[in-house]
Chain A
Amino acid sequence: SAVISQKPSRDICQRGTSLTIQCQVDSQVTMMFWYRQQPGQSLTLIATANQGSEATYESGFVIDKFPISRPNLTFSTLTVSNMSPEDSSIYLCSVPQGTYTEAFFGQGTRLTVV
């Protein structure tokens, strides 16, 4: 199974600022996923990050708000831009296992916007 390191583990940010979350995997993977878990809610996929191409965003999420980088096959970043209190959530990085069956998750980044 892949080992996924996510930084920071938590942060408290002022509204209007931006936060970049890093995800490092110990093996090369084609696809990396970014999920959001709002307080008391389930996980929602934000986007899929593919190395060498633009990220693919799910309905309701846009690149200007959540820009993603994928410079190589083991690393990705998600930026939460121009934050508001509604962005307070846990953000999780995920990679598929094997032939895209189960997925493995990082520990998550708990973001609080004040």
Chain B
Amino acid sequence: AQSVAQPEDQVNVAEGNPLTVKCTYSVSGNPYLFWYVQYPNRGLQFLLKYITGDNLVKGSYGFEAEFNKSQTSFHLKKPSALVSDSALYFCAVRDEYKLSFGAGTTVTVRA
């Protein structure tokens, strides 16, 4: 089965600083990888995906992610974090017809 791991439960950064949320994957074959964000009392919102092609993927709200095949990683990044980026972030991988999610990383951006 395909799976992803998010090694950090929490990430804390100051506003304006770079933000990185880590994700590693374990798949057989080519991975379909995704990032989602969940704001309090809200559903999941799709941020970006990697299917094939350029290893640097750009998504919504200024986020981007870098696919690294040798390190089996798909880290989410934002060059300058905002307080409004504080939320719960999930990495996910397509596993047959469904998505398998990581445990989630809570991001707190302090003013």
Contacts and interface: CB of A to CB of B under 8 A. Distances in A.
Given A102-B46, A107-B43, A45 B98 contact: yes
Q: Most chain-B Cβ atoms within 10 A of its Cβ — which of A48, A92, A94, A103?
A: A103
Interface string B2-27: 00000000000000000000000000
Interface string A1-43: 1000010000000000000000000000001010000000111
Interface residues of B, number: 20
B49 A101 contact: yes
Interface of A: 1, 6, 31, 33, 41-43, 45, 48, 92, 94, 96, 100-108, 110
B98 A33 contact: yes
A92 B46 contact: no
Contacts of B45: 105
Interface of B: 32, 34, 36, 41-46, 49, 51, 90, 94, 97-99, 101-104
B34 A92 contact: no
Given A42-B90, A42-B104, A92 B44 contact: yes
B94 A105 contact: no
Contacts of A41: 103-104
Contacts of B101: 42-43
- Chain A interface secondary structure, helix, strand, loop or mixed? strand
B50 to A, nearest CB: 10
A103 B94 CA distance: 10
A100 B97 contact: yes
B98 A108 contact: no
Q: Most chain-B Cβ atoms within 10 A of its Cβ — which of A42, A92, A107?
A: A42
A104 B97 contact: no
15 contacts: A31-B97, A42-B101, A42-B102, A43-B44, A45-B98, A45-B99, A96-B97, A100-B94, A100-B97, A101-B49, A101-B51, A102-B34, A102-B46, A107-B43, A110-B41
